[in-house]
Amino acid sequence: MIRTAPVAHDGPGLPVDLDEAVHRCLVAGFDGTASVPSALKQLIDRGLGGVILFTRNVRDADQVRKLTDDLRALRPDLLVGIDNEGGGIGHLVSAGAPDGPGNFALGVVDDTELTARCADALAGHLASLGITASYAPVADLQHRPDNPIVRTRSFGADAELVARHLRAWITATEARGIASCAKHFPGHGGTVTDSHHDMAVDPRSHDELRPDLEPFRAAVAAGVPMLMSAHVVFPALDPHRPATLSRRILGDLLRHDIGFDGVLVTDALEMKAIADRYGEAAGARIALAAGADQVIVAVPELELTLACRDAVLGALHAGHLSEERVREAAGRVRRLAERYAAPADPRAHIGWDAGAGPEAARRAVRSRPAPRAVPGFHVVDLFPPPHPALNWGGEDLLTELRAVDPTATGTAITEEPANLSASIAGILHWAAGSPLVVATYDAGLHPWQARLRDALLARRPDAVRVSTGLPEDGDDVCSYGRGRANLRAAAEVLAGR
């Protein structure tokens, strides 16, 4: 049941200021583009710390600006955040977001000034929409070829490379008055499990984990105002709990060793690593007790946010969570809001470089020798369905190639064909007489792509191999990501532009 008013000092519940402190520790997702749900209004009235927007909240730029204005009219110190990594990870395509190349392409180019220009464009666009917090950049190192979730979201595998690009990104974002957030502490790149789907474990030793901490140290030194925790168990650091719920990792390591005093926000609690093992409500209570300052419930079911809120209130009543810890967390959120919650006049945020992302994508693609360009390619673009937690704007390689070579033909395949032989025969029939491109997206993680690619190459060894994820042996072209800028850059190479 939703309470409609704060609890009075002399009532059976918490003091008003402590009730508000509890609500400051929450970040809620919600449904809709035009109106604020009544349950969300009541949470905001009681002190809700932030909301997180997704594609479901975005129709166009004017609509988003009105929505953020309406939210902030309810509470001026409400933080409005969004995942805004660039590349294929963003939710503002229909609101005119600048094309970003994604972090891995930026790491391949390794030009920190260009990284800063890309980050500035993304942050300037957020400022123009009244969005004040960006849950980016990714600070994870991409160690393992079988890691299923970090991949091209990372700047790379080298700690110093990642650190210098983080510094450039954070500094540029700060200059626009947007709060950045380095994630996922202490690193998700050494796992073989996606924490959206199950508990991830990084079995490496303490010494082996040291390089993963360096980008986070660099982010803190650069003044990053937020960090996001990883739903990953690190037995060398805490054998019993994932980082999000670990006092050893959040308190001893992050607060005391690294010295971070900004807002520590959890990754979304509905991710199965937390939801299936602990439950979202218990996860909220344990995370705050462990040292988190805000917990995110990204799904739009506000009943789940309320359940997390009630678990925290109940823990305070029962003495399982201290007032001091909640007030400390709320104080950090309050200071963050004082610095970032009020958006600047959007007219002050014009003039970002919309060409920075496409330039970075082109420079990354052209870092490898280009195949011979010919017109009229038949493209077979293989990629899995989009990750449920990550946005996909419908980009595909054929569309981008047709924009520069209208004679191109082809198809996109997003799942294993029921009849592999029939699919191969059909593709070869339609591609007869045309040069062939076979594009895959992380085929090592999706064996059906490798089987289909290899069968086609056996019949058409002249085919050009393209990777739209991490590079693989034998690729002729690699885009280092599936964002629109990445795919267009690869298409330009194929077309000889």
At the topology level, CATH places domain 368-495 in Rossmann fold (3.40.50)
Confidence of residue 393 (pLDDT cuts 50, 70, 90): low
Q: What is the pLDDT of residues 277-320, one digit of tens each?
A: 999 999 999 999 999 999 999 999 999 999 999 999 999 999 99
CA torsion, ordered 63, 68, 72, 73, to nearest 10 deg: 0
Mean pLDDT of 354-381: 93
Both tokens assigned to 197: 């789907």
Catalytic, 196? Answer yes
Maximum C-alpha span of the chain: 83
Mean pLDDT of 140-156: 95
Q: Where are the domains of the chain?
A: 16-349, 368-495
Using an 8 Å Cβ cutoff, are 188 and 134 in contact?
no
Q: What is the pLDDT of residues 65-112, one digit of tens each?
A: 999 999 999 999 999 999 999 887 789 999 999 999 999 999 999 999
- pLDDT for res 5: 35
> What is the percentage of the chain residues whose pLDDT exceeds 90?
89
Residue 52 has φ and ψ, to the nearest 5°, of -120, 125
Number of Cβ within 10 Å of residue 32's Cβ equals: 12
Q: What is the pTM of this model?
A: 0.94
Q: What is the pLDDT of residues 327-348, one digit of tens each?
A: 999 999 999 999 999 876 655 5
272, 211, 486, 234: which is closest to 363 by C-alpha?
Answer: 486
* Res. 6: pLDDT tops 50: no
Superfamily, domain 16-349 = Glycoside hydrolase, family 3, N-terminal domain (3.20.20.300)
Q: What is the pLDDT of residues 193-252, one digit of tens each?
A: 999 999 999 999 999 999 999 999 999 999 999 999 999 999 999 999 999 999 999 999
Question: Residues of 326-341 as b/e, b for ≥16 C-beta within 10 angstroms?
Answer: bbebbebbbebbeebb
Residue with tokens 């390794």, as numbered in its chain = 110
- pLDDT for res 136: 97
Mean pLDDT of 448-474: 96
262, 410, 384, 393: which is closest to 328 by C-alpha?
Answer: 262
- pLDDT for res 388: 64
Q: What is the pLDDT of residues 8-35, one digit of tens each?
A: 333 346 788 999 999 999 999 999 999 9
- pLDDT for res 316: 96
Both tokens assigned to 105: 């392409």
- pLDDT for res 347: 52
- CA quadruple 7, 299, 263, 293: dihedral positive or negative? positive
- pLDDT for res 8: 33
Lowest mean pLDDT among 10-24, 204-218, 254-268, 439-453: 10-24
- pLDDT for res 256: 97
Confidence of residue 435 (pLDDT cuts 50, 70, 90): very high
Both tokens assigned to 435: 């040069």
Catalytic, 143? Answer no
Residue with tokens 């090592």, as numbered in its chain = 444
211, 85, 103, 231: which is closest to 160 by C-alpha?
Answer: 211
- pLDDT for res 4: 32
Helices 112-129 & 61-74 angle (0-180, nearest 10): 70
Half-sphere exposure of 455 (CA within 13 A, CB side): 18
- pLDDT for res 488: 97
> What is the percentage of the chain residues whose pLDDT exceeds 70?
95
Both tokens assigned to 96: 């005119």
Which is catalytic among the residues 23, 188, 196, 446?
A: 196
> How far is residue 118 from each of residues 140, 330, 412, measured CA to CA in Å?
19, 32, 29
* Res. 386: pLDDT tops 80: no
Which is catalytic among the residues 99, 194, 267, 293?
A: 267
- CA quadruple 197, 193, 480, 405: dihedral positive or negative? negative
- pLDDT for res 345: 60
Using an 8 Å Cβ cutoff, are 122 and 92 in contact?
no
Distance separating alpha carbons of residues 289 and 318, to the nearest angstrom:
13
